[in-house]
Each structure stands twice: as structure tokens, then as C-alpha cells.
Amino acid sequence: MTRHLPLSHLPLALLVVLALLPLGLSDPYLLNALIQTGIFTIGAMSLNLLLGYTGQLSLGHIAFFGIGAYASALTALGFDVELLFGWRVVHEPWPPLAGFVLAVLIAGATGYLVGRLSFRVRGAYFVIVTISFAEVVRLVALNWVELTQGPLALTGIPAMRLGLPGLGEMIFRTKVQNYYLVLAVAALSYLVVARFTRSRFGRAMRGLKENEALALSVGVNATRTLTIAATASAAMAGAAGSLYAHYFRIVDPDVFLFSTTVTMVIMVVSGGKGTLIGPVVGGLIFGLLPVALRPVLAPEAQWIVYGAVLILILFLMPRGIVPKLEALAARRPRAAAAQKPVEAESRP
């Protein structure tokens, strides 16, 4: 469809700009902000898979992120805990890459369980189950001191290492290295969401969101479809959590803060839920806005402006930035075509 042409290049253009950015940017503070933004943007993309494409709001999404962070950190650090009846579990440290894979698998498995348990009844029920789940996981992380060090945090988490055949081992120690690692995982996540939502599973998800009774009548299994979406979404959040753990090298129970979920919801809703690039646009804006405001405003004023920007975006573009841009882009060529009938877009 020709009328989406200007916007269809946005993801690639954004990727090129982001890939070139470190060449002209050496400020470690800004790089740090970009990496952090990138990690939470991956979280926002994973949330979008559920919220944007199935309409189910997970307000405990940070739980999957945090589980990924802890799973990855503990895999790489090793642990020695005593369970019930004196049964002792000892785990020797594994390479961080194994941590990443396990983070994805374990977060995905918890997403599956939460989905299985809560999707029999949907809507508000799912919201409450996810909030409670996140709170329970946070309390476990805080109180199971033997495993998680509780409020003392897991420290000394090794940097991500990637063994490349023939090239030796790559260690992601510097900010620039981590920047490209996060960018690569984000690009991959984008691709996964794109493929997922364009497949027949994605169509079943959209059908449920748009007209549930009709979707059921054409044979969509609601529980199964939503559970698949929750599993994929949680697994992707777990990947983001793993990146977080191996970049900051420290994980504490505050990783489960409710406000982080809210930030991800803001990223998705402001950018445009149910669009591929929306969470990225929203993620960049609300990830970098605090950084941009910090040098010019007092701390209290920063959050007021943050809130004002959010309200303004949602007031002017209730469906989000990207859908609004799409609507504008769709209008302009048509107006141009009306003036120059020769160039009128081809219609089937």
C-alpha cells in the first residue's frame, strides 16, 4: 500500500540512526540513559504484544522482567540454598549466555502459568492477578535472603559474554558494547513481534480483541491464544531483564517496582498500542525525557513536565503517536492525488 510508504521506512531509519549514534556520542551519561531506555523499550514491546494486540492489560508485567533479571543473575553467580527438609540445592556459576537463555525460558514459563490461571476469566480479573503476582514475586525476592540476598542485592553479576566460533569470546564490558547488544536484542524483539503478529496467531489475537464472540464463532480458542501471547510476552520481558542484570551488574528487589510497569504502559499507550513501532517511539520519548529535563529543571518540576507531556500526547493523540502519524500520512497523499490525478495511487 503506497500510502503507508513514509511510515513504513520509520523502523529502518530509526535503526540506522540508533546504530550510528555512538559514533558521535561519547558522553557516558547519555549512553547509559540510552541503554537503560533500550532495555525498558524491549519491555514495552513485550507488553505491547499483550496489551496492544490482545487488549489484555498486564499491570504486573515487571514481574516477568524481574524474574528474567534474577534468573540470569543467579545462573551466572551460582547459589547454594537449603529447601524444605534439609534438601540442599547447589548451583555452580554458568556462563552469562546460559543465564540469558534461562531467563527467557523461566520468564516464559511463568507467563504461561499466569496466563493459564487467569485467562479463563479475562479483563479486570487478569489485571488484578498480574498485579498480585508481581507483588508476591517482589516479596519473595525481598525475603528469600539465602537465594537473593534480599535488600542487600545480588552484586558482582558478570558482564554478558558471547562466544563466537572462530572469533573468540566477546565480553560486553563497555557502555558502547552494551549499547549495541541492547540495540541488537531490541531489533530482534521487534522482528519477533512483527512476525508473530502477522502470523495466523496474530490474526487470532486481533480477532479476539476486536470482536470476541465472532472470533470464538470462527473457532478461535480464546484461552489458548491468550496464553500463547502471554508466554511470548513474558519471555521477551525476561530477555530484557537479563540484559538489565548483566549491564548494571546488580539486581535488588526494587527491580519489581510497580512504577516501572506504569512506565512501560505509558511507553506503549503514548506510542500507539497495537502498532509495531509505537512502543519504540513511546519508549524513546519517555525513556529520554527525564534525561533531557534534568539539566534544565528542578527535580519537582521535571516530573510535572513529564506528566504534562504525557497528558498532552494523550489529549491530542488519544490512540497514540504512531496511529496519529499513520492517519496524517494516509490523508496527505490522497489530497495530493486529488490535485494531480495522473499520480493517483494505484488501487486494486
Partner 1 sequence: MSVSDTAPILCVDHVMVRFGGLTAIADLHFDVRPGEILSLIGPNGAGKTTAFNVITGFLKPTQGEVRFKGVPLGGLQPHSITRLGLARTFQRTSVFPDDTVLDNVLIGLHREGGGRLFDAVFNLKRERAAERAAHENARAILDLVGLSGRAQEKAGALSYGEQRLVGVALALATRPSMLLLDEPVSGMNASETQVFVDLLRTIRARGVTILLVEHDMPMVMEVSDRIVVLNYGRLIAEGPPDAIRADPAVIEAYLGKGAAAAVAQAAMQEAAHA
Least distance CB 297 / partner 1 (angstroms): 40
- Residues 133/114, Cβ–Cβ less than 8 Å: yes
- Phi and psi angles of residue 123, each rounded to the nearest 5 degrees, phi first: 70, -125
Q: What minimum distance in Å lies between the beta carbon of 32 and partner 1?
A: 31
User: Cβ–Cβ contacts within 10 Å for residue 263, how many?
Assistant: 20
Pairing of strands 88-91, 154-155: unpaired
What is the nearest approach in angstroms of partner 1 to the Cβ of residue 185? Answer: 15
Nearest of 19, 51, 60 to residue 38 by alpha carbon = 19
Q: Is the CB of 124 or the CB of 218 nearer to partner 1?
A: 218
Q: For residue 26, what is the DSSP state? A: -
Task: List, in sequence order, every residue forming a beta bridge with 168; answer none if it has no partner.
Answer: 164
| Residue 208 C-beta: closest distance to partner 1, Å | 9
- Tell me whether residue 110 or residue 189 sits nearer to partner 1 (CB atom): 189
Cβ at position 279, least distance to partner 1 in Å: 18
Compute the least distance from the CB of residue 138 to partner 1, in Å: 30
- Output the nine-digit C-alpha cell for 302: 521535571
Q: Which residues bind partner 1 (CB under 8 A)?
A: 1, 192, 195-196, 198-201, 203-204, 206-207, 210-211, 213-222, 228, 232, 347-348
Residue closer to partner 1 by CB (options 88, 200) is: 200
Measured CA to CA, the distance from residue 115 to residue 173 in angstroms comes to 36
- Tell me the C-alpha to C-alpha distance, in Å, between residue 119 and each of 35, 99, 223, 336: 34, 29, 6, 47
Measured from the CB atom, the residue of 155 and 221 that comes closer to partner 1 is 221
State which residue, 49 or 285, has the beta carbon closest to partner 1. Answer: 49
Nearer Cβ to partner 1 (66/278): 278
User: Collapsing DSSP states into helix, strand and coil, what is residue 80?
Assistant: strand
66 or 320: whose CB is closer to partner 1?
Answer: 320
Quote the CA–CA distance of 29 and 179 in Å, as a whole number. 12
Which run of H or E residues covers position 188?
helix 175-198
CB of 240 to partner 1, least distance (A): 17
In angstroms, how far is CA 2 from the centroid of its own chain? 30
